[in-house]
Amino acid sequence: MWFRLMLVAMTANGFALLGAKVLAEAGLGVRYSSHYLAAWYGCGFLLALAMSARRVSRPYLRETVIGAGMALMSFLGQACLVGAVSNGAPGYVVYPVIAGATIFLVALAGRLIFRERVGPYGIAGIGCGIAAVVILSLP
Q: How far apart are CA 124 and CA 135, in angstroms?
A: 16
Do 109 and 65 form a contact (C-beta atoms < 8 A)? no
What is the model's pLDDT at position 56? 65
Cβ pair 69, 126 in contact under 8 A: no
User: Is pLDDT at 84 greater than 80 in this prediction?
Assistant: yes
Spatial separation of the C-alpha atoms in residues 49 and 57, rounded to whole Å: 11
Residue 59: what pLDDT?
74
1-56 per-position pLDDT tens digit: 778 877 887 787 778 778 887 888 888 877 888 888 888 888 888 887 887 777 76
User: For residue 13, what are the CA distances in angstroms to 74, 83, 119, 121, 127?
Assistant: 10, 17, 28, 25, 23
Domain-wise residue ranges, the chain:
1-88, 90-139
pLDDT mean over 55-71: 82
pLDDT digits (tens, 9 = 90+) for 90-126: 877 887 777 777 777 888 888 899 888 888 988 898 8
